[in-house]
Amino acid sequence: MTRGRAVLAGLTSLGLALAASGCGALGGSATPVRAVEFGTELAIPPLAESTVVGGVRTFELTARPGTREFLPGVTTPTWGFDGPYLGPTLRAERGERVAVRVTNELDETTSVHWHGMHLPPAMDGGPHQPIAPGDTWEPTWEIDQPAATLWYHPHPHGATEEHVYRGLAGLFLLDDDASRAADLPSRYGVDDVPVVVQDKVFDDDGRLELRHDGGEPGTLGDTVMTNGTVGAYHEVTTERVRLRLLNGSTARTYSFGFEDRSFDLVATDGGLLDAPVRLDEVRLAPGERAEIVVAFEPGDVTRLRSTEPDLGGVAASFAMGGNDAFDVLELRAADDLAPSPAPAWGPSSHAGEDELRAEDATMGRSFELADRMINGERMDMSRIDEVVTVGDTEVWEVRNAHPVPHSFHVHDVQFRILTIDGREPPPGLAGPKDTVYLEPRRTYRLLMRFEDYTDTEMPYMYHCHMLLHEDEGMMGQFLVVEPGETASDHVGH
461 near ligand C2O, rule: CB under 6 A:
yes
Of 115 and 416, the one with the shorter C-beta distance to ligand C2O is 115
Strands (E) located in 5-86: 40-41, 51-53, 56-71, 74-81
- What is residue 18's three-state secondary structure? helix
For 248-300, list the strands marked E by DSSP: 254-258, 263-268, 271-279, 281-284, 289-295
The least CB distance from residue 79 to Cu ion, in Å, is 23
- Name the minimum Å distance from CB 406 to ligand C2O: 13
Question: Per CB under 6 A, does 399 bind ligand C2O?
Answer: no
Q: Which helix (H) or strand (E) holds 16?
A: helix 13-24
Q: Residue from 57, 68, 115, 402 that binds ligand C2O (CB under 6 A)?
A: 115
**Total residues belonging to the chain:** 493
What's the min distance (Å) between Cβ of 276 and ligand C2O? 26
Among 406, 416, 463, 469, binds ligand C2O (CB under 6 A): 463
- Segment holding 213, helix H or strand E: none
Stretches 66-74, 77-85, 209-217, 461-469: which one binds ligand C2O (CB under 6 A)? 461-469
Question: Could you give the CA distance from residue 5 to residue 13 in angstroms, rounded to a whole number?
Answer: 15
- In order of 114, 268, 477, the CA distances from 382 in angstroms are 22, 33, 9
Q: How far is the CB of 43 from ligand C2O (least distance, A)?
A: 22
- 411 touches, from ligand C2O, Cu ion, none (C-beta below 5 to 8 Å by class): ligand C2O
CB of 301: closest distance to Cu ion in angstroms?
37
Q: Which does 466 bind (CB under 5 to 8 A by kind): Cu ion, ligand C2O, none?
A: Cu ion
Instruction: Report 122-161 residues binding ligand C2O (CB under 6 A).
Output: 153, 155
Please return the burial class of 389, using the count of CB atoms within 10 Å of its CB with bins 0-12, 13-18 and 19+: middle
- Please check whether residue 124 is in contact with residue 114, taking contact to mean a CB–CB distance below 8 angstroms: yes
Is 244 an interacting residue with respect to ligand C2O (CB under 6 A)?
no
With 0-12 / 13-18 / 19 or more C-beta atoms within 10 angstroms meaning exposed / middle / buried, residue 392 is: middle
In angstroms, rounded to a whole number, what is the distance separating the alpha carbons of residues 438 and 444? 8
Residue 254 near residue 281, CB atoms below 8 Å: no
Q: Which of 464, 475, 479, 487 binds Cu ion (CB under 5 A)?
A: 464
Binds 115: which of Cu ion, ligand C2O, none (CB < 5-8 Å by kind)? ligand C2O
Asked if 370 interacts with Cu ion (CB under 5 A), we say no
Residue 464 touches which member of Cu ion, ligand C2O, none, C-beta under 5-8 Å by kind: Cu ion
| Least separation in angstroms between CB 175 and ligand C2O | 21
Where does this chain touch ligand C2O (CB under 6 A) — which range of 37-45, 94-102, 169-177, 457-465? 457-465
Binding region for ligand C2O (CB under 6 A) out of 7-15, 166-174, 257-265, 458-466: 458-466
Site membership for ligand C2O, residue 469 (CB under 6 A): no
Of 57 and 163, which CB lies nearer to ligand C2O in the complex structure? 163
402 binds ligand C2O (CB under 6 A): no
What is the smallest separation between the CB atom of 417 and Cu ion, expressed in angstroms?
18
Q: Does 113 bind ligand C2O (CB under 6 A)?
A: yes
CB burial of residue 47 (10 Å; 0-12, 13-18, 19+)? middle
Residue 458 — φ and ψ, nearest 5°?
-105, 115
Q: Who's near 155: CB < 8 A, 6+ residues apart?
A: 111, 112, 113, 125, 126, 127, 461
Site residues (CB under 6 A) for ligand C2O? 113, 115, 153, 155, 287, 409, 411, 461, 463, 465
Site residues (CB under 5 A) for Cu ion? 406, 464, 466, 469
